[in-house]
Amino acid sequence: MESLNELNQVLADADCLATQTEVDACLDRMATNITKGLGDTMPLILCVMRGGIVTCGSLLPKLTFPLQVDYVHASRYRDKDRGGELEWSVMPQFELKGRVILLVDDILDEGHTLAAIKAHCLEAGAASVKTAVLVDKIHDRRSDRLTKADYTGLYTPDRFLFGAGMDYKGFWRNAPGIYAMPE
Ligand SMILES: O=P(O)(O)OC[C@H]1O[C@H](OP(=O)(O)OP(=O)(O)O)[C@H](O)[C@@H]1O
Ligand code: HPA
């Protein structure tokens, strides 16, 4: 386990790529576009735990139309900075058949996580599955199963990020804004 000093130093040494004010502006834009696209579909919002909790929790009060909320828990990084096999811990509990679904996550990195969850929802009979991410990381390792999200907050360079739901070794999901580890 990292020490308190080490974790405080991580934040102090990191580069802030987006302040909380900038993140909030991105969330406002996303909410406007989601409302335009899904406002009359009574969608089921699926929060992708754990990273999606901050983006989803921040977006929900900005979506002023009827919707339902559930979550999935799937992880492929755990506390590491490289992705592995996707491990599902919790499947959605709501019936997915016939539903318009919006998957909400913190980051689209290589794309395997959202691609797999989207495929699961479609196999379960969802009418359509859209994706919303706060961050899209720019690089050439993106899975061709999901090259871009339907709703994106902002784009970042290919650096290890934390804050706004994204973790550094399990910590700092709560950091206000988006931070990159020093290069
Ligand atoms: O596009 P990908 O390369 O698949 O990576 C994106 C996923 O990685 C992170 O989850 P992680 O596996 O770290 O679990 P967490 O949500 O518990 O942090 C993040 O929250 C996304 O769900
Ligand atoms: O850059 C990242 N930071 C934290 N979690 C992540 N999951 C995928 N990419 C990242």
Domain region containing 133: 4-180
pLDDT tens profile 147-181: 999 999 999 999 999 999 999 999 999 999 999 99
Nearest-angstrom CA–CA distance, 53 and 106: 8
Instruction: Count how many domains the chain has.
Output: 1
How sure is the predictor about 53, in pLDDT bands with cuts at 50, 70 and 90?
very high
pLDDT tens profile 28-41: 999 999 999 999 99
Q: In this structure, are strands 161-162 and 178-180 parallel, antiparallel, or unpaired?
A: antiparallel
Say how many Å lie between the CA of residue 169 and the centre of ligand 2.
Answer: 10
* DSSP state at residue 61: G
- Cα→Cα distances 92→38, 131, 146, Å: 20, 15, 20
Cβ(46) – ligand 2 distance below 6 Å: no
Closest ligand to residue 142's CA: 1
The tokens for 77 are: 């990084």
Cβ(77) – ligand 2 distance below 6 Å: yes
Residue 21 sits in a domain whose CATH number is 3.40.50.2020
pLDDT tens profile 97-121: 999 999 999 999 999 999 999 999 9
Name which residue sits closest to atom 14 of ligand 1, judged by CA: 75
The number of CA neighbours under 13 Å toward the Cβ of 179 is: 23
Q: Which value does ipTM take for this structure?
A: 0.98
